[in-house]
């Protein structure tokens, strides 16, 4: 029997950040603007931010043909395909503005197309997008080049185009295979369709195929989700991302179409999570952390074994802790010791670009304290352990003095078997790895100051 019992999951069923960054995006301020971002780009070009690692690129494609009721992403629902061509012109403007400050030919080792639905774009538009990016950046061999795919928008021929364009990783949005659940969330996609696409992806030579699942959706039960888990294990994707549905209709209008009385109880949600953990681990998947599972030979699982995991705004990554250039409406990036976010509406995004401005509308310049705490949180989130001496040498501090209150708080987590503390450092236990967000939260100065956790998803 798994040590991850429903009782244990319930005990730690509290909201908390996902720590794709620290400080988290809710701390961004409008006082950080285009001028601050441009300075960060110039600092990178001049080498003031230290040794330059290859860039990571994120491109947000906001369009979807139909509305999924659970969705909390920044998206535009439209059947007007011509909007993609117009958007591509604005992405080109945005890239050209970047290269004015960065110069042409910056190395890129990671690309992610997200959305929305990137495959809303036609094959020719995707070709134009990739040609534009390759004209301005130098994509290095062996990088991670991934794209999110709505199975309803592609066939094997379209997957072949993605392979031809250099993508080597795919992420399919599945959520649930149960027909009644699919109907309740307005996303009908037969399991056979997904199975065929994954099979085709393997024939085409994609290095890794990820499948996204969501538990806590309307009409789901532990028994119905067991059937989806069995189908996923039969499909055997290289990676699985398992997310909890957060019902926030007051913040996300599409969720108002979900009937609250059809949502599973808290107890059923916890049962679904517990059974999912057991099902995937029993099927041979490695729990990478933070909702992510991977087959033992997948690059993500290998990186975890070798202590090479990193985190960025897309989640866990095998790529080094590098600057992230974010392109498109609402995208969030990181350059040097800064975070930045583009305008969230298409109108403002396009208007700023028409005026010759980068569309950055808010962000954050990290303080020394932010940077120290980020290094601590990312060590715990990615490696699961931290040596006091490494932080002391890197930041010229005395860890035990600076973080005396935090170490005192960790005693309670040690008593619960989640961490081990000793004279030299902190070790997250095998059990604690399932609740690592809760461990990281102890070092979040902002969270500890205001204790306002309602804005976050549950830590499990």
Binding site for [4Fe-4S] cluster: what residues are annotated?
A: 64, 68, 71
| Two structure tokens written together for 119 | 């495959």
CB 448 within 8 A of CB 261: no
| Two structure tokens written together for 242 | 């398992």
| Closest to 62 (Cα-Cα) out of 328, 349, 334 | 328
CB 58 within 8 A of CB 314: yes
Number of H helices and number of E strands within the chain? 17, 19
Residue with tokens 């532990």: 222
Which residues are known binding-site members? 58, 64, 68, 70-72, 115-117, 148, 175, 187, 212, 246, 332
Secondary structure in 3-state letters for 134-161 = HHHEEEEEEEEEEEEECHHHCCHHHHHH
| Measured distance CA(189)–CA(219) in Å, rounded | 16
Query: Can you say how many angstroms the Cα of residue 156 is from the centroid of all Cα atoms in its chain?
Result: 26
Phi/psi at 432 (nearest 5 deg)?
Answer: -65, -25
Tell me how far apart the terminal alpha carbons of the chain are, to the nearest angstrom.
19
| Measured distance CA(279)–CA(240) in Å, rounded | 12
| Two structure tokens written together for 300 | 């993500």
Which residues are known binding-site members for S-adenosyl-L-methionine? 58, 70-72, 115-117, 148, 175, 187, 212, 246, 332
| Two structure tokens written together for 286 | 């490695």
| Measured distance CA(88)–CA(73) in Å, rounded | 20
């Amino acid at each position: 029997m798994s040590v991850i019992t429903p009782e244990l999951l319930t005990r730690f069923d509290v909201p908390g950040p996902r720590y794709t960054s620290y400080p988290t995006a809710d701390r961004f301020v409008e006082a950080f603007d285009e001028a601050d971002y441009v300075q960060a780009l110039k600092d990178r070009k001049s080498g003031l931010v230290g040794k330059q690692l290859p860039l990571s690129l994120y491109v947000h494609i906001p369009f979807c043909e139909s509305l999924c009721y659970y969705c909390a992403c920044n998206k535009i629902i439209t059947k007007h395909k011509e909007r993609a061509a117009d958007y591509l012109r604005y992405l080109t403007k945005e890239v050209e503005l970047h290269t004015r400050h960065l110069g042409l030919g910056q190395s890129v080792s990671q690309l992610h197309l997200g959305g929305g639905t990137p495959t809303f774009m036609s094959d020719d538009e995707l070709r134009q997008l990739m040609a534009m990016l390759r004209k301005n950046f130098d994509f290095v061999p062996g990088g991670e080049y991934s794209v999110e795919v709505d199975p309803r928008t592609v066939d094997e021929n379209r997957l072949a185009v993605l392979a031809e364009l250099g993508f080597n990783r795919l992420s399919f949005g599945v959520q649930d295979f149960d027909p009644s659940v699919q109907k309740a969330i307005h996303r009908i996609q037969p399991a056979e369709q997904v199975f065929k696409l994954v099979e085709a992806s393997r024939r085409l030579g994609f290095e890794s195929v990820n499948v996204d699942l969501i538990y806590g959706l309307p009409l789901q039960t532990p028994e119905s989700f067991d059937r989806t888990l069995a189908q996923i294990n039969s499909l055997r994707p290289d990676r699985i991302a398992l997310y909890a549905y957060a019902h926030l209709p007051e913040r996300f209008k599409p969720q108002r179409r979900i009937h609250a009385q059809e949502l599973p109880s808290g107890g059923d949600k916890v049962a679904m999570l517990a059974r999912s953990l057991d099902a995937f681990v029993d099927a041979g998947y490695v729990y990478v952390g933070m909702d992510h599972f991977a087959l033992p030979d997948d690059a993500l699982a290998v990186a975890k074994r070798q202590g090479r995991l990193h985190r960025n705004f897309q989640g866990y990554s095998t790529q080094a802790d590098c600057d992230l250039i974010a392109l498109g409406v609402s995208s969030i990036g990181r350059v040097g010791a800064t975070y930045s976010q583009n305008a969230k509406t298409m109108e403002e995004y396009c208007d700023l670009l028409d005026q010759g401005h980068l569309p950055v509308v808010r962000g954050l310049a990290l303080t020394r304290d932010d940077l120290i705490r980020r290094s601590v949180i990312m060590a715990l989130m990615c490696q699961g352990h931290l040596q006091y001496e490494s932080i002391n040498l890197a930041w010229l501090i005395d860890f035990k003095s600076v973080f005396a209150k935090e170490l005192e708080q960790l005693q309670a987590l040690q008593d619960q078997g989640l961490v081990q503390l000793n004279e030299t450092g902190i070790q997250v236990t095998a059990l604690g790895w399932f609740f690592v967000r809760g461990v990281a939260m102890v070092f979040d100065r902002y969270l500890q100051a205001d204790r306002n956790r309602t804005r976050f998803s549950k830590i499990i």
